[in-house]
Structure 1
């Protein structure tokens, strides 16, 4: 894993940049507030006034930086909500995705997952509990194989299971792979499928088709457009939740979406 630069140096640089921005903002505000005053006071005098005011009231720096951060967070949240709304059809209506729970549910929980993701395995019981306890919940499973060639192979088999054996069997296949330990690749996925009574030769043939490959790339492109960089990531309504956040936060997001 690539490490970020030292936290202290990064903070110092960021604060310096923000202070420069703040000073420029204050200068512009003072200069534009009264044109007649701006003509009588030169730039040096204005800078002296700003400096003296900041030294006498240093708390305004923290207050200003806090406001800048809050504005940035709000803008980011609004951008994510807009992106989720724009991609609603791609999130909820892809025919290749495996759907668990109520196919006609009033709320959809979308999960981007990788069969080799430890956190996805940790989140799997939470998702299963939500499905078991909420008869109106629809869960959409989107393969996002980002953890190597083995994950891609397993994803292809998983998507092929739906075509060959149907939605219910595909859901059971997903659960069994999520319960599996160790590295999962195409061979492991085919073994699990065989234990479910699926024709593995036919499954291999379907998994190798262009249609399955396109679906995986479609999911990868969608994740990139939404800013999803890891698994698991959940989408509920206009919320994007990253990581194994737990059952309760997901329940709260589902409840908020219903309201």
Structure 2
């Protein structure tokens, strides 16, 4: 990849030299241009690193701008879906959205940070979006969670989410439904709800939303116009939340 980028830089330099002045272009052939470029780069190798750093910076800026625009276009889907579990203050002045998978080890690592943010910030609202990308067991667990939300209500869904996220090992429908029984919920009703087109549609919508936002892994957090990927710890999330409040 780096060699390819360096090659592109060389061709760019050749293009500049040969198009900047038609008269000059006529007086110098391609071999001479390549020799000049090569000699200059060999004498000033640091320009390669500088150019690559600038290219990376521009790419990151362009990606951030594209994501910001995508977030703005998806505000309703991100913040106002009645299918999502809400932690913290439902009427909070700042919202953190988490795309997660019950079988994601990094999501489990981030769960205590999310819990701490809720405990320490009474004005924070957290939206939890099912993003089951780690296999069939993840899809099954997401269906159980959505069914709990639809059949048993918001409070039961919050409790189920916290308890299932604390569970170790591979999560699938059987283990998730076992937990619902421990909670005193109706396993049969939940199993029936899992098979409904409505539950399938919610998962499909979340996957499509994540794709439009350019999300490829879990956990992924959206706060304001920013996307934060990975289990980054509590402080970076808290800083991003505070930055939203300052705008």
Which TM-score band (shorter chain)?
A: over 0.9
One of 165, 190, 210 as aligned partner of 1:223? 210
Deviation at 1:176, TM superposition (A): 0.8
Secondary structure at 1:245's aligned position in 2? Answer: coil
TM-aligned CA distance change 1:195 to 1:86, over 3 Å: same
One of 178, 198, 201 as aligned partner of 1:214? 201
TM-aligned CA distance change 1:51 to 1:254, over 3 Å: same
Q: Which residue of 1 aligns with 2:235?
A: 248
Deviation at 1:177, TM superposition (A): 0.7
Give the total of aligned pairs.
246
One of 173, 177, 180 as aligned partner of 1:186? 173
One of 147, 163, 173 as aligned partner of 1:176? 163
Secondary structure at 2:54's aligned position in 1? Answer: helix
Aligned counterparts, 1:47-196, within 5 A: 47-196=34-183
Across the aligned residues of Structure 1 and Structure 2, the Cα RMSD in angstroms comes to: 1.6
Alignment partners' CA distance in 2, 1:18 and 1:145 = 36
Secondary structure at 1:145's aligned position in 2? Answer: coil
TM-aligned CA distance change 1:185 to 1:29, over 3 Å: same
Per-residue CA deviation, residues 48-67 of structure 1 (Å, 9 max, x unaligned), is: 32222222222222222222
One of 186, 199, 205 as aligned partner of 1:199? 186
One of 14, 24, 35 as aligned partner of 1:37? 24
Q: Which residue of 2 aligns with 1:7?
A: none
TM-aligned CA distance change 1:116 to 1:45, over 3 Å: closer
Deviation at 1:201, TM superposition (A): 2.0
Alignment partners' CA distance in 2, 1:85 and 1:118 = 29
Q: Which residue of 2 aligns with 1:3?
A: none
Secondary structure at 2:163's aligned position in 1? Answer: helix
Q: Which runs of 5+ in 2 are unaligned?
A: none
Q: Which residue of 2 aligns with 1:4?
A: none
Deviates more, 1:169-178 or 1:218-227: 218-227
Per-residue CA deviation, residues 10-58 of structure 1 (Å, 9 max, x unaligned), is: xxxx232222211111122222322332233333332232222222222
Deviates more, 1:41-50 or 1:122-131: 41-50
Alignment partners' CA distance in 2, 1:188 and 1:58 = 58
Alignment partners' CA distance in 2, 1:201 and 1:90 = 30
Q: Which runs of 5+ in 1 are unaligned?
A: 1-13
Deviation at 1:232, TM superposition (A): 1.3
Deviates more, 1:108-117 or 1:49-58: 49-58
Secondary structure at 1:49's aligned position in 2? Answer: helix
Deviation at 1:194, TM superposition (A): 2.1
